[in-house]
């Protein structure tokens, strides 16, 4: 048997989970990942992707390991080739109403249900990047640490979620100028923190996140 064939899990690399799922009878794999969980502003975005077997898209990996140019190129290729794809978006206001974990899982569930509805056949296994299962999901699922590096479907979901969210933040930069959303995408960089001090928070800021909750302790959100 060839090493790293579909029937041999082989070494841990992108595609390892799909090879494992093939041997365990869990195909097809629907991969799920998120973007924006640690940001101070903007939504958390999740994506769910099911690609044809075997994957024919070179260079797929965890979006954090890719350049912006590579992510944009892979985003278009994934969308063109995916058998099923879904995106879930939970805004900052909802994140503040619940918490970031609950909002992330809510976005993941939206993405999975959207992708499953678009898929013509059954889903063998939903592989969730991380260590938390998606609450209330009726499909078989398995959380898997570093799945965005070990599964091409999770890697594809990582790319879709990241590019979708980044593009939203670029558009948000025009709506709320001065914060630099197009540059830092809502993460807590020094420039972003300095802008918040100068301008105060905008409606897209997560008011329950430190240091916002400490600096602006009022429970009310900035008006839209």
In tens, the pLDDT along 154-210 reads 999 999 999 999 999 999 999 999 999 999 999 999 999 999 999 999 999 999 999
- Pair 6, 18: CB distance under 8 Å: yes
Query: For residue 220, what pLDDT band results from cuts at 50, 70 and 90?
Result: low
Task: Give SS3 for 31.
Answer: strand
Other beta carbons less than 10 A from residue 67's beta carbon: 8
- Dihedral pair phi/psi, residue 21, rounded to 5°: -65, -35
Give percent above pLDDT 90 in the chain.
Answer: 83
pTM of this prediction exceeds 0.85? yes
- pLDDT of 132 reads 96
- pLDDT of 50 reads 98
For residues 51 and 128, give the distance between their C-alpha atoms in angstroms, rounded to a whole number: 15
Q: Which of 191, 183, 181 is nearest to 203 (CA)?
A: 181
DSSP 163-202: HHHHHHHHHHHHHSTTS-HHHHTT---HHHHHHHHHH---
Give the chain's mean pLDDT: 92
Q: Which fold has domain 16-174?
A: Nucleotidyltransferase; domain 5 (3.30.420)
Q: Is the pLDDT of residue 10 over 60?
A: no
pLDDT tens sequence across 90-113: 999 999 999 999 999 999 999 999
């Amino acid at each position: 048997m060839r090493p790293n064939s579909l029937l041999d899990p082989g070494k841990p690399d992108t595609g390892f989970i799909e090879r494992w799922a093939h041997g365990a009878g869990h195909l097809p794999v629907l991969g799920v990942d998120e973007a924006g969980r640690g940001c101070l502003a903007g939504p958390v975005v999740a994506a769910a992707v099911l690609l044809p077997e075997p994957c024919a898209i070179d260079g797929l990996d965890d979006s954090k390991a890719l350049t912006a140019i590579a992510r944009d190129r892979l985003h278009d290729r994934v969308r063109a080739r995916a058998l099923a794809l879904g995106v879930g978006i939970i805004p900052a206001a909802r994140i503040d109403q619940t918490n970031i974990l609950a909002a992330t899982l809510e976005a993941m569930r939206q993405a999975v249900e959207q992708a499953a509805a678009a898929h013509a056949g059954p889903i063998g296994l939903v592989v969730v990047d991380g260590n938390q299962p998606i609450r209330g999901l009726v499909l078989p699922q398995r959380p898997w640490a570093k799945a965005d590096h070990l599964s091409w479907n999770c890697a594809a979901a990582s790319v879709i979620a990241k590019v979708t969210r980044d593009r939203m933040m670029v558009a948000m930069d025009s709506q709320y100028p001065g914060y630099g959303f197009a540059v830092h995408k809502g993460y807590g960089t020094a420039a972003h923190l300095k802008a918040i001090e100068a301008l105060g928070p905008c409606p897209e800021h997560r008011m329950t996140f430190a240091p916002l909750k400490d600096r602006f302790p009022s429970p009310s959100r900035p008006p839209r």
